[in-house]
Structure 1
């Protein structure tokens, strides 16, 4: 039993595997809110989420809005940073971004870190030290622990779970972390969910085609949720919405100490 099944059983929720099995019975003659994903036009179909915002089907996921040209994710609360000032060892600190998104450093005090990239924060710290204390300071930040660099992989994989990922992780990397597909997992029904502004976007990727070089191997970002459906399932918007809710709920339960 994986962490998702344990978490759902403890919370009294149905397993995602059961949901995916039920999706096999979905009718292809449903209304637009439950229409087969194969018939949905990219960006034309969406459904409201319980927590606010909407779930929207797209052909391909864009990089998160808060990345810098899709190259670097911002820092978030609870990240642990090692801040080093070149040739000024007594200013070096290991700090954790607090719940309000701030860190505290010698001489310059509190600074907002959450929502900024490492490079942006380095420049702001250099400016703060350079304004009163140092001449041409050189600051380097190393992210020792990153809460934001975790993904959730669920559904028909061998090892559903929450995994840390590097800044260059791809969809194939994520599937490999979860041990690949199980006996009923469909490589053509891999759905990736991503926060984008106030909404959640979801796109369907065919891993077989990616492995064959027919399609690009998309980048995966911290916070993404990847769900693999069963080979015989007929997927509808409601199935996608419910799968996201179960995977996200299980992830939140699983990380509680």
Structure 2
């Protein structure tokens, strides 16, 4: 894991240098927040968009208007299936919420209910994952089970370790077909001086080690305002 972290950080630094060498690719601002990512699965998951597609291990809450007995929570299995009262197994994986509501309405209408109004709520977006690398107690890949901020994501990895450079936190994301990054001073985020940005599925968070002599750390130190926004 440590070797993988070093390799990732080295790659990140190379990308950042390439970005800075390109004119017009850099904008600096305090408290800047990256826009949501390109994928509808990632961006729609936390904004209530109708184009989010249900994924494996998502937790769904399903209800039928006027029939409290059919209110049910179901975890999507690895094959994309859920099991519900009366109708049994239903393929949920890959469907949007409206598509699944329509499917379940048709199932319940087939010999069970008249004009059922089915509502599907995605309670946990477990199919969305974030990668945390660098100076963390437990770096790794973690599921996002709902709307999650940068501080909350770091807490999933049990926080930063004693060697973490809190001024060297970089969040990477794909936006408009480009790999983008924003650098944050975690101390300022904790104090409320910078906004605690929301993280999405497929985001990568990298935390550099304090006291290291790496070029990546020196680059971050040279940035006049953490909260830097880069197109990579």
TM-score interval, smaller chain: 0.5 to 0.7
Aligned counterpart, 2:229: none
Distance 1:219 1:91 in 2: 31
Residue pair 2:82, 2:91 contacting (<8 A) in 1 also: yes
**Structure 1 residue 16 corresponds to structure 2 residue 22:** no
- TM-score after normalising by structure 1: 0.56
Distance 2:173 2:179 in 1: 6
Aligned counterpart, 1:114: 94
Residue pair 2:46, 2:146 contacting (<8 A) in 1 also: no
- TM-score after normalising by structure 2: 0.61
Q: CA RMSD in A?
A: 4.3
- Structure 1: stretches of 5+ with no match in the other structure: 6-13, 46-58, 237-257
Aligned match of 1:235 in 216, 221, 231?
A: 216
Counterpart mapping for 1:1-257 below 5 A: 4-5=1-2, 14-17=3-6, 20=9, 35=17, 39=20, 44=25, 60-65=33-38, 66=40, 67-68=43-44, 71-72=47-48, 74-79=53-58, 81=60, 83-86=62-65, 87=67, 94=74, 96=76, 113-114=93-94, 116=96, 118=97, 120-121=98-99, 123-125=101-103, 128=106, 134-141=113-120, 143=122, 146-196=125-175, 198-231=177-210, 232=212, 233-235=214-216
- Structure 2: stretches of 5+ with no match in the other structure: 27-31, 218-232
Residue pair 2:105, 2:118 contacting (<8 A) in 1 also: no
Match of 1:235, SS state, is helix
Distance 1:96 1:69 in 2: 15
